[in-house]
Amino acid sequence: MLNADLKKPDKKIYLQISAGQGPRECGWVVAKVTKQLLAAAAQQKVCATQLEVRAFDKNALRQNVLTPEVASYKSALISLSGAGAQALAEQWQGSVKWQGESPFRVGHKRTNWFVAVQCVECSELTQASLAQLEKDVRFEATRSGGPGGQHVNKTSSAVWATHLPTGIKLRVESDRSQHRNRRIALERLQLQLNAVEQAAAQQQVAANRLGHYQLERGNAVKVFCGADFVEKH
């Protein structure tokens, strides 16, 4: 069961970074933007947790598993909390443009690549709401993945979480702590369930949280350039 650290409501902001229908280069930008956003959060003392990434390459894709070694992400999901969370989210929401030569296709003429950073709505998470949700979830412990050698996590810290009423199943290995991974799994399940509820209420095909947002090709809130991904001011 969840412990006492969930008694207070979690006032979090969830940001999804998405390549939309863009090519692999946009997935590369998603990975870079994710890294930049996490660094900005650390600099501004905002608590940021990378809840999920989805690999762009179908051969590398492992649904709902963090795969930081993958160069291109189809999408990433980050939670922000703390005094500066709202301000940080506002700095990044919208279209983000990268100007540079394709890292995958030598001589490709296109040099402008866009990704979207969007807020994902989630009802307030409390001890009561997560404890209630947990009653409908079956957890299975498993070993975390990763490179070989001494860095392999030999303990069963990763978890599979199955929401029994809907059949939604996801794997979490974000943290070395199984307890933290269970909590993250519940947060992500709550996000998905909220999206399903919104779809039923609004009858919108794109209500699924993992759907990719339509990118706005212009009016970028941030612009990065070159192979070093340096922000252009």
Q: The dihedral of CA 11, 206, 27, 152: what is its sign?
A: positive
DSSP-assigned states of every residue in 184-202: HHHHHHHHHHHHHHHHHHH
Question: Whole-model pTM above 0.85?
Answer: no
For residue 67, pLDDT over 60 is answered with no
Task: Tell me what pLDDT residue 69 has.
Answer: 46
Model confidence band, residue 209 (pLDDT cutoffs 50, 70, 90):
very low
Model confidence band, residue 178 (pLDDT cutoffs 50, 70, 90):
confident
Question: In the chain, where are the structural domains located?
Answer: 11-231
Task: Tell me what pLDDT residue 199 has.
Answer: 62
Which 3 state secondary structure label does DSSP give 10? Answer: strand
For residue 179, pLDDT over 90 is answered with no
**What is d(CA 199, CA 208) in angstroms, rounded to the nearest whole number?**
7
Q: Higher confidence at residue 143 or residue 64? A: 143
**Residue whose tokens read 């069961």:** 1
Task: Classify domain 11-231 at the CATH topology level.
Answer: Alpha-Beta Plaits (3.30.70)
| CB distance 190 to 130 below 8 Å | yes
| CB distance 17 to 33 below 8 Å | yes
Report strand pairing: 13-18 vs 230-231.
Answer: unpaired
Question: Mean pLDDT, the chain, as a whole number?
Answer: 79
For residue 152, pLDDT over 60 is answered with no
Task: Write out the H or E segment, with its range, that includes residue 175.
Answer: none
Write out pLDDT tens, residues 4-33. Answer: 444 444 578 999 999 999 999 999 999 999
